[in-house]
A and B are shown apart, each in its own frame.
Chain A
Amino acid sequence: MERDWIYFDANASEPARPVALEAMVRAASVIGNPSSVHRAGRQARSVLESARERLAGLFGTRPDNCVMTSGGTEANLLAVAGLGEGRRVLASAVEHDAVRAAAVADIIPVAGDGVVRLDVLERMLGEPESRPALVCLMLANNEVGTIQPVAEAARLCHRHGALLHVDAVQAAGRIAVDLRALGADSMALSGHKFGGVKGAGALLLAGEATRTLPPVMAGGGQELGRRGGTPALPAIAAMAEAAVEAVGALANADAASVMAGWRDAIEAAAVAVGAVACGGAALRLPNTISLALPGRAAQTQLIALDLAGFGVSAGSACSSGKVARSHVLDAMGLGPLAGEAIRVSLPWTTREDEVMRFIDAYRAMAARLPARRATLEEAGA
């Protein structure tokens, strides 16, 4: 079947997996509220707890330390607000807005490839401070896909009495993710980023006992008092089902290398027509490509590709829909290229012919769009 519009914006939202949609519909038909004492309540509770057990098992924590939320933003906020209480917050320069907006943080710089400067983090942690720190470091970046040295950062943090929160929203389902193995204190997940549906996420807390956490929404004391409100069962059930499938697929090494191969093919084809591959030197997610085309505004590229039938994205889209300059690429020191880069993120549904068609469309766009940046003209480029 030939698709007439190709979706390469998985990091914004992965297409829902059919197993997740089935689980969503099943859960939506359960009448009860998990807090109720009667049979329908027990049924709803069973759906919730079974989802929790699977999610906790897949990502490396105890079920009672898996707090269901409305999504990644809430999970990050819950962690920063709860674990960061009374602490000095440090965050890498490439964190998502969900983290950046959660607290006033001291910024840990990244190197040109997007990888956090652990040497600077160590120096910052060693600064004389009356308060201990909470460090926020994402596992994989949403724009360039850079995978951060989280395990090393966790060791550094703990040596200095600091806690580490990990935003694993983009990593989960795309690479192996295990909270215990990472050694971090908490980890945020979002269901629709690995094939669930929008509306559910989770905050995983580390520890071999039940962890408490001050709630952002107290409500009726659900989630062991850590997150009030009736849980969104359909989205939570979908999240757990999607996680099982996505993590299961990672065991197939061939499939994983096929995705990385497509990523590299797109990147090579783009570089051949003048693009700069941002963060290409670092270890990255297999599905994420950041391509800057010197002199061509990112928003013009997005529109050109959309009109040609391809959905990709850039920087961060603000709620008005305008394309803002990327703070991630800025932090990587890319200068004007930060406003000229698009993000291509391949969904789990990607097929080879789509990759080939995208490469053709990208080549055509690069040839069509004139370079308009003044500095390029001055440089004679």
Chain B
Amino acid sequence: MRIMVAMSGGVDSSVVAARLVAEGHEVVGATLQLYDSRASARKGACCAGRDIHDARRVADRLGIPHYVIDAESRFRESVIETFASAYASGETPVPCVACNQGVKFTDLLGMARDLGVDAMATGHYVRRIEGAAGPELHRPVDASRDQSWFLFATTREQLDFLRFPLGDMPDKAAVRAEAERFGLEVAAKPDSQDLCFVSDGSYAEVVEKLRPEMAGSGEIVDETGRVVGQHDGVTRFTVGQSRRLGNAAMRDGERQMVVGIEPAARRVVIGPRARGAVHEVSLRNMNWLIPPPEEDLRCMVQIRAREEVRAATVRRTADGALVTLDEPAMPAPGQACVLYDGSRVLGGGFIRRREPVASSFSEEKEAKRL
């Protein structure tokens, strides 16, 4: 089989390429250039110039063709700009989902199809299991590296074409050991962390550079609009957070949290933490990996990247889905809500903003490399 491997230059996708070569497949390596590596790129994040070099050296060693694909403008438009726009509308986006869905599984996968390869493999930690009704997406064996939440938007058509050879690996040590067996120099390379396009870990700076009108201090107000404090920039806040509220963190003996963000007015709205939890979560841009259910669906849902699942009932709506949680929670608008049956991903969507805005208990913005 002729397989394209999306090679990031890291140990995971390098092992995928090496293993497929060893299995006798005709492997074609491809690395996306997502931004100009001469500009400041975060060390230890994926796809910087160093990573392209590493991917090329691995491909060299394996004796496979390797190509660097220019995805700079697409990445800027479909991931970075969208990321900033979401912040500007008061949401907390998940750019890795947009990147997987757009640049990787639409553009690169489309190119792979155009080139007539039979499948595309990645180093993602998920399992693709051939079910009775076609391929299914499952959590990986190694729960600590689970990337299924970030891949919920993978369509069934894409899943059909994709392969995730690392989904069955017991742990990262096993992957590194395999890399060493194959003699790959990237075996000991540190894992990439965080968003690849954010240098020095500051989301706020990236957003403020792209949306300068969001930069600057502003007012912290309560739900009646009374000014109760000052903040140093709305981009530093996520619905559900209690940090950075200063003297406004406690009011009338009640712990406060962010319940809404009004970027245009540069205002942060707070309310008592105890009253922030909700039962209903409205989802948009639903992707179903099962036939879309006609009736209410009982399943487990995960509303944040690293969090336990919770029981819920999901109903399809004309423009998405309505999730009713058994126990109230604090979902953050813009984050994903992914539906599971055991290890299997059933589908998912993005959490809509609520009026008044719902909340999550996010203490920090969190994103995971994919």
Contact = CB atoms under 8 A, between A and B. Distances in A.
Interface of A: 297, 299-300, 302-304, 306-307, 320-324, 368-370, 372
Contact of B114 (A302, A321, A324, A370): A370
Nearest to B32: A322
A300 to B, nearest CB: 6
Contacts of B52: 320-321
Contacts of B115: 300, 303-304, 307
B110 interface: yes
14 contacts: A302-B67, A303-B28, A306-B65, A307-B28, A307-B65, A320-B37, A320-B68, A321-B56, A321-B67, A322-B33, A322-B69, A322-B70, A323-B70, A369-B114
Given A320-B33, A321-B67, A372-B114, 6 more contacts: A303-B65, A306-B65, A307-B65, A321-B56, A321-B68, A372-B110
Nearest to A325: B70
Interface string B114-130: 11100000000000000
Most buried by A among B37, B52, B69, B110: B69
A369 B110 CA distance: 11
A324 B70 contact: yes
Contacts of A302: 67
Given A307-B115, A320-B33, A369-B114, A299 B67 contact: yes
Most buried by B among A302, A307, A322: A322
B102 interface: no
Nearest to B66: A321
Contacts of A300: 111, 114-115
B70 A299 contact: yes
B49 interface: yes
3 nearest A-B residue pairs (beta carbon) = A321-B68, A322-B70, A322-B68
B63 to A, nearest CB: 14
Most buried by A among B33, B52, B70, B111: B70
A369 to B, nearest CB: 5
Nearest to A297: B111
Most buried by A among B28, B110, B111, B115: B115
A304 B70 CA distance: 16
A22 B111 CA distance: 44
Contacts of B68: 320-322
Contacts of B69: 299, 322
A368 B111 CA distance: 12
B238 to A, nearest CB: 35
Nearest to B117: A307
Interface in B51-107: 52, 56, 65, 67-70
Contacts of B67: 299, 302-303, 306, 321
Nearest to B72: A322
A299 B108 CA distance: 12
A238 B37 CA distance: 36
Interface string B227-265: 000000000000000000000000000000000000000
Given A300-B115, A306-B65, A372-B110, A320 B49 contact: yes
A103 B115 CA distance: 40
A220 B139 CA distance: 66
A324 B67 CA distance: 13
Contacts of B56: 321
Nearest to A317: B68
A304 B4 CA distance: 12
Contacts of B33: 320, 322
Contacts of B37: 320
B133 to A, nearest CB: 28
Contacts of A304: 114-116
Contacts of A322: 33, 68-70
A12 B128 CA distance: 43
A368 B110 contact: no
A58 to B, nearest CB: 38
Nearest to B33: A322
Interface string B196-229: 0000000000000000000000000000000000
A176 to B, nearest CB: 38
Nearest to B67: A303
Nearest to A324: B70
Contacts of A372: 110, 114
Nearest to B49: A320
A305 to B, nearest CB: 10
Interface string B28-62: 10000100010000000000010010001000000
B160 to A, nearest CB: 18
B46 to A, nearest CB: 15
A213 B70 CA distance: 40
B40 to A, nearest CB: 16
A306 B116 CA distance: 13
B265 to A, nearest CB: 36
Contacts of A369: 114
B212 to A, nearest CB: 28
A303 B67 CA distance: 7
Contacts of A370: 114
